[in-house]
Structure 1
């Protein structure tokens, strides 16, 4: 039995969870969320998180570790957040060093896509899979990889930064430091940026979900944005299938609520671009944990580091 605290830092919201790991399951005792509002900067956001952690440690004093899940790029080995595109101002934030000094317990940092991959593998749509890819498709886009029954993190723990891939011509909005990036087409921010770029105005920005509603009502511009998102997603998935030959690709966030708008285009491109034998052996599913995946993410980072989880749960 382990008592742990999980922190999930996202571009839209942050989640702090107090949980108990018992019988290979997470039992949540308390979960608290708040809007990130990235413009506040890292000091204000981390201060808010640390205040919640202090309150949770009053509820349960015997905390084995704190796990932190955050969008990349980051260096999980050194415990440094390195300028995620959806967290402006978070440049070389030594979050592990900072929180270890404040709480004097083990602190672990992991890319959010890796944490989400572990969560879906152990508790969600990926149970029983030996080779799995989890794609965030939320505010940003990243991937976590379970390869041959192990989390694959690569150099600096930075494997899976596929949002940085350039998959289209060099025009349109800049996202993740370049035009034509995978994240620029297949993320909440990307969809919003493309819609307003094509509309020719940047005021009163709609959300990706609001643009989806417009698409369903027949807005041709909104439909165009979701169509191109689906086509580029299909292109990226075909590359992943041919490169990694996964048993399953799980996609979170926007994918589940917009499948009616993008699914046809996704499937058509995958079928045209990927090797048939690999496509036939790969299942593509939405996240089972859905909006609750952030509850699990930080907690499973701590559990994974402590217990060195293998594919035997």
Structure 2
């Protein structure tokens, strides 16, 4: 039985544990803020702690941004503030310090592998996973094969342009989906719309005053305003729902998945809203057979399952796997 140090690195949070190829976590899941500007050191410090618990056979890492899996580098790491950190070498310091094999994968592709091995795949041959978090990302696994692309940079689904006429953008892509519908994008879109939409610019509701005055508007605040009955916030979320359906419909037409799973904080904290919105508008944008839509059972630990799925995919490990019950997974 192999014991693998697992790291699910996000722009905001850094998760770690030790896992086995059959999907078991044998230590509590540790969660701490991601230290983007000292990521190599943060990873080595935590790896030393895990190595002290038991001898390890490998290290598997799920990380955001553009990843060079072969070299073991994160080429571009997107921080919550929208900054890009370039060329973070994770493989060399791990191999030099611990002499362990390193399996690195983009978190989008890794999450799809996590779903394939440990999630809701059942009898589907092609699945697509989408994460709505700080940004939007995802991955496709078709008949066991992750679609990585020419440079292994596939899965930047949040950069699909759903509104090319807009002034909003993300990482230089005009009208990018995540500029409207991600945790970072929702408040950006709401603020922009208040500034540019004459219908609402003179509105005097408490929420529009908050938007106009608050530089720290958050996505949860927008959802809270909707629950309080604010019409401007409701109008914004209705349009965001349509953008979500346009993005998912485009992906369905491109990849024809049988199953689309949804994860990430924006989706998991607002399940009814996101699913109803997509279901309401999807027919406008989806030509191929409509897939099954479901929320991932892997929750916030999908990055760790993704890292483990990456290890299984690339190490040749073929251990039998049962779908884990997230309610009984070992975690903090």
TM range (shorter): 0.7 to 0.9
- The match for 1:270 among 255, 264, 282 is 282
What whole-Å deviation, never above 9, does each CA across 1:218-249 have from its counterpart, x for those lacking one? 22332233222211110111112222111101
User: Partners of 2:72 and 2:153 in 1: how far apart?
Assistant: 12
Length-normalised TM-score, structure 2: 0.83
- The match for 1:186 among 160, 181, 199 is 181
- Match of 1:213, SS state, is helix
C-alpha contact (below 8 Å) 2:40/2:93 kept by paired residues: no
What whole-Å deviation, never above 9, does each CA across 1:10-49 have from its counterpart, x for those lacking one? 111010111233xx3323323211022xxx5422x33223
Look up the match of 1:156.
151
Residues 1:308 and 1:145: Cα distance change in structure 2 (over 3 Å) = farther
C-alpha contact (below 8 Å) 1:149/1:311 kept by paired residues: no
Q: Shift in Å at residue 186 of structure 1?
A: 2.5
User: Partners of 1:184 and 1:93 in 2: how far apart?
Assistant: 25
Residues 1:83 and 1:13: Cα distance change in structure 2 (over 3 Å) = same
Tell me the C-alpha RMSD between the 2 structures.
2.4
- The match for 1:100 among 85, 95, 102 is 95
Residues 1:220 and 1:179: Cα distance change in structure 2 (over 3 Å) = farther
Look up the match of 1:16.
16
User: Partners of 2:312 and 2:143 in 1: how far apart?
Assistant: 20
Choose 263-272 or 154-163, whichever is displaced more.
Answer: 263-272
Structure 2 unaligned spans of 5+: 196-211, 323-332
Determine whether 1:236 maps to 2:247: yes
- The match for 1:256 among 268, 271, 275 is 268
Residues 1:129 and 1:70: Cα distance change in structure 2 (over 3 Å) = same
* Greater RCO (Cα-Cα under 8 Å, separation 6 or more): 2
Residues 1:269 and 1:84: Cα distance change in structure 2 (over 3 Å) = farther
Residues 1:56 and 1:310: Cα distance change in structure 2 (over 3 Å) = closer
Residues 1:127 and 1:210: Cα distance change in structure 2 (over 3 Å) = farther
Choose 191-200 or 134-143, whichever is displaced more.
Answer: 191-200
Choose 2-11 or 195-204, whichever is displaced more.
Answer: 195-204
- The match for 1:223 among 206, 211, 234 is 234
C-alpha contact (below 8 Å) 2:40/2:88 kept by paired residues: no
Look up the match of 1:56.
50
- Match of 2:270, SS state, is helix
Structure 1 unaligned spans of 5+: none
Length-normalised TM-score, structure 1: 0.88
Residues 1:202 and 1:100: Cα distance change in structure 2 (over 3 Å) = farther
Q: Shift in Å at residue 69 of structure 1?
A: 0.5
C-alpha contact (below 8 Å) 2:168/2:176 kept by paired residues: no
What whole-Å deviation, never above 9, does each CA across 1:29-88 have from its counterpart, x for those lacking one? 23211022xxx5422x33223211101101112x11101101122222222212233363
User: Partners of 1:195 and 1:112 in 2: how far apart?
Assistant: 27
